[in-house]
Amino acid sequence: MKNALILHGTKASPELNWFGWLKAHLQNNGYENVWVPQLPGAEQPEMSRYREFIFNSDFVFSSATLMVGHSSGAVAALSLLEAMPEDIAIDTAIMVGVYRPEEKHYSSTEELNISKIKNKARRFVFLHSDNDPYCPLEHAEYYADVLGGELVVSPDQDHFSNFVSPVHSTIPEITKILELESEK
């Protein structure tokens, strides 16, 4: 069963940005369980709190799981992968507007252990803008390099947030990355 977990960023919620659009789009393309949780304490993201919240839920990670995170939600996705048991790996992890927590203090600042993350997804994709005002493109380049992932750079998309630009109620790049049927 294909399932998906979508993680919002700092001071955000499941109702903001493109999260509802992506949830509906995934459900229309064969994902049976798509969860977009309200992360606890999102005003000051703490990865250990997020991990506890997600791992204590009834969401089941499997080889058919897609995980998408935005900003601090992208860091949370990497943190979840880092903490997963060795025998669990997901299908695809897409990080949108990721940053290195040890260099940008938008959330807990502990450095992620790349060696624990590297084999936890069949595919890593880092979607980033070339003009993100919060998260440097170099951070996405770093993760793509050390995790053997794909880097997709979208020109002039700022932080993929509709509070920065109302155009970000959808992200068609994700549809292309996942090779899903386009919206009609």
Tokens of residue 66, six digits: 């897609």
The answer to whether residues 180 and 25 touch, using CB atoms and an 8 Å cutoff, is yes
pLDDT exceeds cutoff 80 at 56: yes
Q: What is the pLDDT of residues 122-172, one digit of tens each?
A: 999 999 999 999 999 999 999 999 999 999 999 999 999 987 777 788 999
**Rounded CA separation 172/162 (Å):** 14
Tally the domains of the chain: 1
Q: What is the pLDDT of residue 104?
A: 84
Rounded Cα distance, 46 and 109, in Å: 9
**Cα(first)–Cα(last) distance of the chain, in Å?**
25
User: What was the pLDDT predicted at 181?
Assistant: 66
Question: Bridge partners of 34?
Answer: 4
Residue range 67-121, pLDDT digits in tens: 999 999 999 999 999 999 999 999 999 999 999 999 988 888 888 999 999 999 9
Residue at 184 is within a domain:
no
Q: Where in the sequence is the domain holding 151, given as residue range(s)? A: 3-178
In a domain, 136, yes or no: yes
Domain-embedded: residue 62: yes
Residue 173's CATH number: 3.40.50.1820
Whether the predicted pLDDT of 174 surpasses 60 = yes
Task: Give CA–CA dist 45/164, Å, rounded.
Answer: 20
Q: Which residues pair with 121 in a beta bridge?
A: 90
Instruction: Please check whether residue 106 is in contact with residue 46, taking contact to mean a CB–CB distance below 8 angstroms.
Output: no
Question: Is residue 184 over pLDDT 60?
Answer: no
Overall residue count recorded for the chain in this entry = 184
Q: Is 113 within a domain?
A: yes
How far apart (Å, rounded) are the C-alpha atoms in residues 18 and 14? 9
Contacts of 152 (CB under 8 A, 6+ apart): 125, 126, 127, 128, 173, 177
Q: Note the pTM of the prediction, 2 decimals.
A: 0.95
Q: Which amino acid is at 25?
A: H
- What integer pLDDT is reported at residue 182 of this predicted model? 58
pLDDT at 36 over 70: yes
Predicted confidence at residue 183, as pLDDT, reads 54
Cα gap 37→14, rounded to integer Å: 6
Asked, for residue 183, whether it belongs to a domain, the answer is no
DSSP conformational letter for 38: -
Whether residue 105 is contained in a domain is answered as yes
